Structure 1
Amino acid sequence: MSTPGVCVIIVTFNSGDEANRCLETVARDLASVEWHAIVVDNASTDGSANLIASAPHLQVRRNAANRGFGAAVNQAARLTRAPLLWLLNPDCRVEPGAFPALVDTLDRHADCAIAAPQLLNADGSVQASARGDPTAWTGLFGRHGLLAKLFPNAAMTRRNLQAADLVAAGAESTPIDWVMGASMLIRRDMFDAVGGFDERYFLYWEDADLCRRFRARGWSTRFVPRARVLHSGGASAKTSSKLAIRAFHRSAYQYYATHVVRSRLHPARWFARVALPLRAWWRSRRA
């Protein structure tokens, strides 16, 4: 896999300019690699699809309706036979050497389905992009929750902040429960084997679900801190924050019902079914 074919997949919604800047950094990092890109525009209302620069290695697909992130990625994956799929959010900026570090990780670990870089905020701080599997308890200790602020060093809190801890420890590459879908290098044969993203997740949580399904097959997800990608975060979601809030909570329930509490009769399942929509309603009012 010295010079693998890789397809860069970017899903846009009112973020065409961001996608152009992302592709500029991708082109620099993949200068010696055979690659092409597919941008799927999810029915942008600002003409984003027309803003994306044309290039010989670039396809742009325009959806008549917003199909959601996972469905758009699956759509792009069906259009390419590249052995590697590099998912990037349009608001990502690839730092030099990111792709070589990620593909080196795949070369070293035959069981690795996903290699994911360290994601950085605009101020250079480490994003919480590598985490332990979500549970009911870790939800209470969410990154921005009161309990996490009161108990910053509690084990439940640190499960949501593993990226920063691994970077501080100087880790080169380590297995992790799940990583954010903002930047993932995925083996397409493994992606196909699990059926790609679960399209029941319109936005959010599809990344955690995918990593969990990979692990059920005996395949790993690895976090690679030496690969660095700047991620400003939420370029598409910011354009419709109330929609994003509702989608987050719907997907959270889907994940909870699929992986955490599967019994429909369990009291915790009923609590989540009521509590998550109420939380979404409350947060939407404040958006």
Structure 2
Amino acid sequence: MNNKKDLNWNNIFVSMQEIPIVVLNYNGLHLLKLYLDSVLRTEYPNEVIVVDNGSKDGSLEYLKSKGVKVIPLDRNYGPSYARNVAIRTFKTKYMAFLDNDVEVPKDWLDPLVEVTKSDESIAAVQSVYTEWSWGEEPSEIPWFSTAAALTRRDVLERVGGFDEHYFFYWEDTELSWRLYRAGYRVMMVPKSRVIHEAHGTFKRLPSQFTSYLTMRNQLILLLSYYNKKQILSNFIPLYFVRLIQSFSPPNRKAKLKAILTLGKEMGYVMKKRSEVRKITVSNEDRFLNYLGKDPFGFMEIRSIIEGIKYRLLSKET
């Protein structure tokens, strides 16, 4: 976790029997008005806390009127930092995370708690908020989304929390990959279903900035976790595919910047690879095993090759 300027907020106490439900907010007053009441109706013993990333839209006044506990940050440090603040603030075993654009039924947390408590190796579980066609039993997944999730807070703290270098986007994927390397598991719990207005806060950020982060973070994620063979066989071809894609609108300059300035990220990448090696308990890459042979654009590369073969065969015939 990166060190930032010390911020002052009121001490917030949560009983060890309660689970803190941490909602992130950034200028999301309209979303809080739509969805916060459903969170406050959660039946499982809890305390709702909003970590606010320097909102200027009246969110703090609204939360005060609702009697909701708030950790107010002085500016937008990003979701990764905001979640880490919550992880450091509370000393409970478990911690739930919700985006501010999620509507939950009153019993959404119960199945998540049941599954997490059933196995100490389960570090995070996620609610279903998209189409799910694989039954009602819990299933392992490559990564969990913090849009609606329950985590072992102590485990997250032990492995280093969310990577603040990402600021936003792919940060929960990176944490999941790290958890697998450390010997933990990540699960989907279909009996917990919520409604998610996808990217409700994402839409509030400048599109150039989000395009840059989306491209940059995917590339540094792969460089941080691919082995040397995968860097040669997967990453280098993918890099050139992304380079070609960056010339297509929208936000060409932002995407091209993410591609061309990747060299400046090598110091971070080498440090990250060293940190991951220290917590790795197994060389079996369960994360990539779940994704199969076409992770993160490999299918695009294969499609290009197959397209070339098709054209060559067409000419021959």
Taking structure 2 as the reference length, the TM-score comes to 0.67
Q: Distance in 2 between matches of 1:45 and 1:272?
A: 40
Report how far residue 6 of structure 1 moved: 0.9
Q: Distance in 1 between matches of 2:70 and 2:243?
A: 38
Q: Distance in 1 between matches of 2:231 and 2:193?
A: 44
**C-alpha distance 55-252 of structure 1, shift in aligned 2 (>3 A):** same
Whether contact under 8 Å (1:98, 1:228) holds in the other structure is yes
Residue ranges of structure 1 left out of the alignment (5+ in a row): 121-125, 127-163
2:113 is matched by which residue type in structure 1?
V
More helix by share: 2
2:163 corresponds to 1:198: yes
2:201 corresponds to 1:236: yes
2:272 corresponds to 1:259: no
Structure 2 equivalent of residue 44 of structure 1: 55
Q: Distance in 2 between matches of 1:273 and 1:105?
A: 39
* 1:9-61 residue CA offsets vs partner (Å, 9 max, x unmatched): 1221221231354331122123x51x223322223343433333445551231
Whether contact under 8 Å (2:24, 2:52) holds in the other structure is yes
Q: Distance in 2 between matches of 1:283 and 1:38?
A: 39
After superposition, where does 1:46-61 map in structure 2 within 5 Å? 46-55=57-66, 58-61=69-72
1:165 is matched by which residue type in structure 2?
S
Residue ranges of structure 2 left out of the alignment (5+ in a row): 1-15, 255-317
More strand by share: 1
1:110 is matched by which residue type in structure 2?
E
Deviates more, 1:257-266 or 1:170-179: 257-266
2:23 corresponds to 1:24: no
Cα RMSD after superposing both structures: 2.7
Report how far residue 277 of structure 1 moved: 6.1
SS at match of 2:90: coil
After superposition, where does 1:1-287 map in structure 2 within 5 Å? 4-30=17-43, 32-33=44-45, 35-55=46-66, 58-64=69-75, 66-120=76-130, 126=131, 164-166=132-134, 170-240=135-205, 241-260=207-226, 266=232, 268-273=234-239, 275-276=241-242, 279=245, 282-285=248-251
Identify which of structures 1 and 2 has the higher relative contact order when contacts are C-alpha pairs closer than 8 Å and 6+ apart. 1
**C-alpha distance 268-217 of structure 1, shift in aligned 2 (>3 A):** closer
SS at match of 2:200: coil
Whether contact under 8 Å (1:261, 1:269) holds in the other structure is no
Whether contact under 8 Å (1:49, 1:62) holds in the other structure is no
1:186 is matched by which residue type in structure 2?
T
Whether contact under 8 Å (1:17, 1:51) holds in the other structure is no
Whether contact under 8 Å (2:121, 2:185) holds in the other structure is yes
Whether contact under 8 Å (1:13, 1:42) holds in the other structure is yes
1:217 is matched by which residue type in structure 2?
A
Answer with 1 or 2: which has the greater Rg: 2
Report how far residue 262 of structure 1 moved: 5.4
Whether contact under 8 Å (2:94, 2:151) holds in the other structure is yes
**C-alpha distance 184-277 of structure 1, shift in aligned 2 (>3 A):** farther
Report how far residue 246 of structure 1 moved: 1.7
1:174 is matched by which residue type in structure 2?
S
Instruction: Report % sequence identity.
Output: 25
**C-alpha distance 38-273 of structure 1, shift in aligned 2 (>3 A):** farther
What is the aligned residue count? 237
Q: Distance in 2 between matches of 1:41 and 1:281?
A: 36
* 1:206-256 residue CA offsets vs partner (Å, 9 max, x unmatched): 111111111112111110001011001111111223322221111111111
Deviates more, 1:277-286 or 1:79-88: 277-286
SS at match of 2:27: coil
Whether contact under 8 Å (2:21, 2:49) holds in the other structure is yes
Report how far residue 89 of structure 1 moved: 0.5
